[in-house]
Structure 1
């Protein structure tokens, strides 16, 4: 399988070999990767060459190391295109997955100065505060907090937000959703995120803050989410 006379570096060939086994399902998420020594003997190469291949696969997110336990095959990441505005529910259904949420709290609260400024409302105006865990096929994907203008998006109930908020807004309230602005940054998971997203202490997460607008330009929603970086990645198509 390894051609030592090929212009392609040996570590790259070993990378491709392991990738192929993952793609074919011979190595499944959660499986332990054979130790470096075993690969070194199999391919008759140095352990440093194997380590280079393994490091590249770790950097690509295909495998991960767990201190004291070994190297494991990672779960496949969900790709989220940055073009187009969809809800979490719509996005997961489009992937053939079953979306669900675990509601942590649902309250009507007075808007803080910061929330009011973003939603273009007066301070202390009522807003819905919704905290929930977003899941796909019962796997926690994100910890989400929403702030929604209660005077604009009326009649919200737990039943509605457990289904599809955007569908309720467009079909029941007959309001047209237009666009959103979104900021993404990386961080390390805090204690609450570790507990609720079932990840390890110090794991990376993607922090996303989005403000969503109706077609007439009125902001109606702020969403602050902590996504599991081991299960999610964002893609965009750029044109010159």
Structure 2
């Protein structure tokens, strides 16, 4: 119950009760919260106090509001460390999650001047263009567009890229992926991203572009990924 004699503000007490329900799993990601009226009646407090508590939890990203539908528990974000070069498949498996990919496009295209420069190949040289939806436990996390020189990585097929591309490159072709440069920025989504990531027009995304190289310095790939900002975050471990 709410202790109305406590020096702790009533709205804060309600916030802590809702947080505890989320932390213990009583309220799961995607669950709808009771209405403001229901909370007000249950704890015999004003709806204004309830509204303040819920607004604070929305601002802290424990909850989110959907216009015309109500307030829901936020989906837990996947956290990706930025101190190592790993594939999406490796990253999800390390978290005990089941990764999967849905291949939506696979073909060899002539490299544009920009892409040729990033891959260190001749303009119009053959490049694999691979588009995949990356999922964790069946939930879409990212739309990924990968570009690799077809002269460097030969024999690539749709079946291979449906699984783990890195595993094929390193374990079958014996090419060692050594390093990468990654740039991340926030953006609004386009129609393709909204379609495959199942997000609304106003929902933000995180854009990531990575250029990876082999141990001998050969440019290996350019990856352009669009991550759902409500389900993914990046973490950097800094040391002085």
For residue 166 of structure 2, give the secondary structure of its aligned residue in structure 1: helix
Residue by residue, what CA displacement relative to the aligned partner does 1:201-220 show, whole Å, maximum 9, x if unpaired?
32121111111111222221
Does 1:188 find its partner at 2:201?
no
For residue 92 of structure 1, give the secondary structure of its aligned residue in structure 2: helix
Conserved? CA contact 1:145–1:223, under 8 Å: yes
* Structure 1 residues 99-114: aligned runs within 5 Å: 99-114=99-114
Question: Residues 129, 239 of structure 1: CA spacing in aligned structure 2 closer, same or farther, 3 A cutoff?
Answer: same
Question: Residues 38, 185 of structure 1: CA spacing in aligned structure 2 closer, same or farther, 3 A cutoff?
Answer: same
For residue 152 of structure 1, give the secondary structure of its aligned residue in structure 2: coil
Match of 2:237 in 1: 237
Shift of 1:52: 3.0
Distance of 1:93 and 1:169 partners within structure 2: 18
How many correspondences in the alignment?
Answer: 240
For residue 53 of structure 1, give the secondary structure of its aligned residue in structure 2: helix
Residue by residue, what CA displacement relative to the aligned partner does 1:176-219 show, whole Å, maximum 9, x if unpaired?
11111111112222222222112223212111111111122222
* Structure 1 residues 20-59: aligned runs within 5 Å: 20-59=20-59
Match of 2:137 in 1: 137
Distance of 2:190 and 2:2 partners within structure 1: 43
Residue by residue, what CA displacement relative to the aligned partner does 1:71-111 show, whole Å, maximum 9, x if unpaired?
01122211111221110111111222221111111111111
Q: Which moved more, 1:28-37 or 1:82-91?
A: 28-37
* Structure 1 residues 84-95: aligned runs within 5 Å: 84-95=84-95
For residue 184 of structure 1, give the secondary structure of its aligned residue in structure 2: strand
Shift of 1:8: 4.6
Match of 1:150 in 2: 150
Conserved? CA contact 1:190–1:202, under 8 Å: no
Shift of 1:54: 1.7
Structure 2: tracts of 5 or more residues without a match: none
Distance of 1:188 and 1:33 partners within structure 2: 28
Match of 2:118 in 1: 118
For residue 121 of structure 1, give the secondary structure of its aligned residue in structure 2: coil
Distance of 2:156 and 2:180 partners within structure 1: 21
Shift of 1:5: 5.7
Shift of 1:49: 3.3
For residue 22 of structure 1, give the secondary structure of its aligned residue in structure 2: helix
Distance of 1:109 and 1:82 partners within structure 2: 30
Question: Residues 10, 129 of structure 1: CA spacing in aligned structure 2 closer, same or farther, 3 A cutoff?
Answer: same
Residue by residue, what CA displacement relative to the aligned partner does 1:119-157 show, whole Å, maximum 9, x if unpaired?
111211111100111111222111111111222222211
Question: Residues 11, 216 of structure 1: CA spacing in aligned structure 2 closer, same or farther, 3 A cutoff?
Answer: farther
Does 1:97 find its partner at 2:97?
yes
Shift of 1:10: 3.7
